[in-house]
Amino acid sequence: MAAIYSLYIINKSGGLIFYKDYGSSGRMDTNDSLRVASLWHSMHAISQQLSPISGCFGIELLQADTFDLHCFQSLTGYISLLFFFLSKKVTRMIQGTKFFVVCEPGTQHMEGLLKHIYELYTDYVLKNPFYEMEMPIRCELFDINLTQAIQKDRVALLAR
């Protein structure tokens, strides 16, 4: 059984720009993967706003009985400031590209893998002169290097 079920990349607007299934038992169709990405984007944004801790960056780990969801939010993107002049309250919400992995419960070291995937994204997608920001990712070099990174991670997980 694969440790990593699927990988999602969501743009700062909440749109799914990349999805890859890695052998989960119930493969989702395109509409379901769009719904999951949209739901995660919304939950992530709400968690930032409701957190009692200032500077919260949203949910980083969601644990369930049958899966874990690890999220890494890049620092690229923008910061939106909402000013409420009557209450003199300033609310910050940091929105950037989100990378999240759905994996087996208890899978370790996913943060490192997500950061490596972000590095691949910056190297092979953002530096591609034909890629338009916020659009779906169609880059062969990114796909090849991502597959190698996932396979390397699976081998490392089996060795532990």
Q: Which pLDDT band holds residue 2 (cuts at 50, 70, 90)?
A: low
Q: Which domain holds residue 34?
A: 4-159
Query: What single letter denotes the amino acid at residue 154?
Result: R
> Per-residue pLDDT tens for 30-50?
888 888 888 888 888 888 788
Helices (H), 51-135: 110-120
Number of domains forming the structure of the chain: 1
Name every residue whose Cβ is closer than 8 Å to that of residue 46 and which is 6 or more positions away in sequence. none
What is the 8-class DSSP label of residue 133?
A: T
pLDDT at 86 over 50: no
The answer to whether 35 and 14 have CB atoms below 8 angstroms apart is: no
Which range of 42-56, 70-84, 100-114, 136-150 scores highest in mean pLDDT? It is 136-150
**Whole-number average pLDDT of the chain:** 81
Better-scored residue on pLDDT, 157 or 39: 39
The answer to whether 7 and 18 have CB atoms below 8 angstroms apart is: yes
- Kindly provide the residue ranges of all beta strands, DSSP E only, lying in the chain, ordered along the sequence: 4-10, 16-21, 61-63, 68-84, 89-103
The answer to whether 139 and 125 have CB atoms below 8 angstroms apart is: yes
The answer to whether 58 and 47 have CB atoms below 8 angstroms apart is: yes
Better-scored residue on pLDDT, 79 or 27: 27
> Per-residue pLDDT tens for 137-153?
999 999 999 999 998 87
Q: Report how far residue 141's alpha carbon sits from residue 1's, in angstroms, rounded to the nearest whole number.
A: 27
Note if the pTM is more than 0.85.
no
Give the closest residue to 74 by CA, choosing from 25, 17, 22.
Answer: 17
Question: Domain with 63 in it: what CATH number?
Answer: 3.30.450.70
